[in-house]
Structures are given as structure tokens and as C-alpha cells.
Structure 1
Amino acid sequence: MKFQVIPVTPYQQNCTLMWCEETKKAAVVDPGGDLDRIEQAVAQQGVELEKILVTHAHLDHVGGVAALAKKLNLPIEGPHKEDQFWIDMLPQQSQMMNFPLADVFEPTRWLEGGEEVTVGKQTIEVRFCPGHTPGHVIFFHRPSKLAIVGDVLFQGSIGRTDFPRGDYDTLIHSIQSQLWPLGDEVQFIPGHGPMSTFGHERQTNPFVADKNLQQ
């Protein structure tokens, strides 16, 4: 599995293009906007988009989902159905954040923790990680030890929990129960900012470092 991170929107959200090297089939994760930039990356890598994957339904992650799905006739997989209300609110989110109007969309497939999605011949695990939003999922490619975690975890920080139906304790539990067991060596692409590893965050992240969470 190969990948390219494509920062999009004024929020510099990390949209990820990932593809199967054998088949050149690709998925785009969280196309929040700037679709021309995403399509340019697809062309430069010489891959074929076969689906859209979504971690959660905040505007900077899904603002381009409906338009891209319609233009290229792509299925949409994710997030978890608990984020339905965020999808329904996309027009209001657009207005509030002064973004271009984002159309509401209906996922082809809602995702549950423990399920799998495919990209070409590659299998990617789905983990349910609520807290930042109630329907947040993350994607984990075990062979390459790579996770795409949306706004659950960042280098040196964690996702905000002051949005509707966000919950701090739930987010911390998601990180400890769903991310850490994957292994310290796992690299992750956060929703914003630079990549890191789970091991590094367990040592240094002030919110979730092991030493700070010990009872």
C-alpha cells in the first residue's frame, strides 16, 4: 500500500490518497475540498479511484465528498451511522465556517468497528473511535503498519470534544482501547499536521501519554 497526503481546505486537512501497488486501484480518504488538487494527485500517481472513505463528517473532512462521488460515480464508505446528523448539517456547517456550500450525501455503506474495507487487493481494518464525533472511525492497514486516524489523535494533541455530542472521556477511551493495541511502531496520518507514531505519542503526548493516564 502506498499513500500521498494532500492538505486541503483553509484548515489544511490531511486528505489521503492510498492505493494498491499491484492493481493501481485507489481510495481517497476525507476529501474535504480542493478537488482539483486531489484529482491532480490521482493523475500524477497514475492510479484509478474506486471509492471514497470517510473517518467522520465534519465539513473540512467531507466538504468535497458529494461532488467527487457524483463526478466520478464513486461509492462512499463511512463514517459510522452516529455521524448522520453531521452529514445532515453540511449546509449549515458550510455557512458557519464560510466554506463553499457542501451538499448532503448518503454513504453507500455505513461502517462499524471490526469491519473491513478494500482498496484493490489490500484489506484495511475499520475501528470505531467515537469522542471527537459520535460516529468517528479510523482505518488501519496492518501489513504496512499505517493508520489514518482523522481527528482522534494528532502529534502532541487529541481531537476537540467541545462540538455537539463530543465527549472527552470517550475519546481517551477510544485512543487507549482502539489505537494503542495496534502497536507502538504504527505510523499514523492525523487529520491535521505531521505524522507520528503511537509509541511516540504514548511517551510524549500530554493528553494521552501513559505516565499521565496511569491511575
Structure 2
Amino acid sequence: MKFRIIPVTPFQQNCTLLWCEDTLEAAVVDPGGDLGLILSAIDEEGVKLTRILLTHGHLDHVGGTAELAKMTGVPIEGPEQEDRFWIDSLTQQCAMFGFDQVDGFTPDRWLKEGDRVQVGQQSLEVLHCPGHTPGHVVFYHPGEQLALVGDVLFQGSIGRTDFPRGDHAQLIRSIKEKLFPLGDEVRFIPGHGPMSTFGNERRTNPFVSDRWG
């Protein structure tokens, strides 16, 4: 499986284009906006978009979802159903953050812990990792030892928990009990900023490292 990170929106959110090298079928993870950049990347890589995957319902991650789905006819999968209230509040989110209004949508498939999503011949495992939002999910490819973690974990930091239904203790549990056990060598693509590995964060991240308890 190959990937390309496409920073979008004024928040420089890491939208990711993932594709199966055998079939060239692709998924876009968290199309927050700037659809021209996303469509250009799809064209440049010569892949065929077959689905949209969402980690959670915040505007910078889902703002372009309805338009992209309408343009391409592909299904929307994720997040977990506890994030429905975030998706239902897109109008208010746009007003709050000064974004142009975007169309609302309902995912074709809500995801839950233990589900799998298919991209060509490649399968991604779904982990429910609440805390930043209650319905946040992470997509994990064991063969590539690659995780797309949205706003759960960053290089040197963790997701905010001061939004409605955020929960700091729950976020820490998600990281330590769901992500870190996958292994130190696992690389992850965060919702913002550079990639890292779970091992690096377990050793050095002041919020969740072994050193700081």
C-alpha cells in the first residue's frame, strides 16, 4: 500500500491518499477541503478513488466530504456513530471557524471497533479511539505497520480535549491501550504535522511517554 499526504485547509490538516499498488484503487482519508489539491493528487498518481474514510467529525477533517462524494459517487465510511453530532453541526462549525459553508452528509457506513475497510486488495483495521471526540477512529494497516490516527496523537503532543464531549483521561487510555500495543515500529500519520512512530512517542512525548508516566 502506498500513500501521499496532502495538507489542506488553513489548519494544514493531513488529508491522505491511500492506494493499493496491485489494483490502483484508492481511498481519501479526511478530505477537509481544498478539493482541487486532492483531485490533482489522485490524477497525478493515476489511481481510482473508490471510497472516502473519516477519522472524526471536525470540520477541518470532513469539510470537503459531501462535495467530493457528490463529484465521484464513492461511499463515505466512518467515523464511529458517536461523532454524528459533530457532522450534524457542520453549519455551526463553519461559522465558528470562519469557513465557507459546506454541505452536510450522512456516512454510508458508520464504523466501530473491529471493523475492516477495504482499499483494493488491502485491508485496514478500525480501532475506536475516543477522547478527542467520542467517535474518533484510527485506521491501521498491519502489513505496512502504518496507522492513520487523525487528531488522537501527534509528534510530541496529543489531541485537544476541550471541545464538546472531549475526555482527556479517555484520550490517554486510547493512546496507551489501543495504539502503543501495536508496536514501537508502527509509523503514524497524524491529523497535523510530521509523521512519527509509536515507539518515538512512547519514549519522548511528554503527555504519554513511559518516562513521564
Would you call these one fold, judging by a TM-score over 0.5? yes
CA distance in 2, matches of 1:103, 1:165: 23
Aligned counterpart, 1:158: 158
Q: d(CA) in 2 for partners of 1:91 and 1:168?
A: 26
Tell me the distance in 1 between the aligned counterparts of 2:144 and 2:96.
38
Q: Which residue of 1 aligns with 2:42?
A: 42
- Aligned counterparts of 1:166 and 1:45: Cα–Cα separation in 2: 37
Residues 29 and 52, structure 2, Cα contact 8 Å, conserved in 1: yes
Equivalent residue number for residue 125 of structure 1: 125
**TM-score (normalizing by structure 2):** 0.99
Conserved in 1, the CA contact under 8 Å of 2:28 and 2:52?
Answer: yes
SS in 2 for 1:212: coil
1:9 corresponds to:
9
Q: Which residue of 1 aligns with 2:195?
A: 195
Amino acid at match of 2:147: A
Match of 2:172 in 1: 172
* Distance in structure 1 (CA, Å) of the matches to 2:20 and 2:36: 22
Measure, in 2, the Cα distance between the counterparts of 1:52 and 1:101: 20
Equivalent residue number for residue 140 of structure 2: 140
Contact kept? 2:204, 2:211, Cα under 8 Å: no
Structure 1 length-normalised TM:
0.98
- How far did residue 2 of structure 1 move? 0.0
The runs of at least 4 aligned residues of structure 1 exceeding 6 Å deviation read none
- Give how far 1:104 is off: 1.3
**Which residue number in structure 2 is paired with residue 209 of structure 1?**
209
What's the offset of the Cα at 1:6? 0.1
**Which residue of 1 is the match for residue 72 of structure 2?**
72
* Residues in 2 aligned to 1:210 and 1:103: alpha-carbon distance in whole angstroms: 43
**Other-structure match for 1:104:** 104
- AA matched with 1:49: L
Query: 2:3, 2:16 within 8 Å by CA — same for their partners in 1?
Result: yes
Cα drift, residue 9 of structure 1 = 0.1
What is the SS of the residue equivalent to 2:212? helix
Q: How many residues align?
A: 213
Post-superposition Cα deviations, 1:72-114, rounded to whole Å, max 9, x if no partner, equal 1110000000000000100110011011212211000000011
Q: Which residue is 2:63 aligned to?
A: 63
CA distance in structure 1 between the partners assigned to 2:103 and 2:56 by the alignment:
15
Q: Deviations over 1:57-80 (max 9, x none)?
A: 000000000110011111000000
CA distance in 1, matches of 2:150, 2:102: 19
Please give the alpha-carbon distance, in whole angstroms, between the structure 2 residues aligned to 1:36 and 1:74.
17
The residue identity in structure 2 corresponding to 1:201 is E
**What secondary structure, in the 3-state scheme, does the structure 2 residue paired with 1:160 have?**
coil
Q: Which moved more, 1:152-161 or 1:66-75?
A: 66-75
Q: Give the distance between the partners of 1:61 and 1:117, measured in 2 at CA.
A: 18
Unaligned stretches of 5+ in structure 1?
none
Matched, 1:29 2:29: yes
Can you give the 5+ residue segments of structure 2 that lack an aligned partner in the other structure?
none
Q: What is the CA-CA distance between 1:47 and the residue it aligns to?
A: 0.1
Letter in 1 for 2:59: L
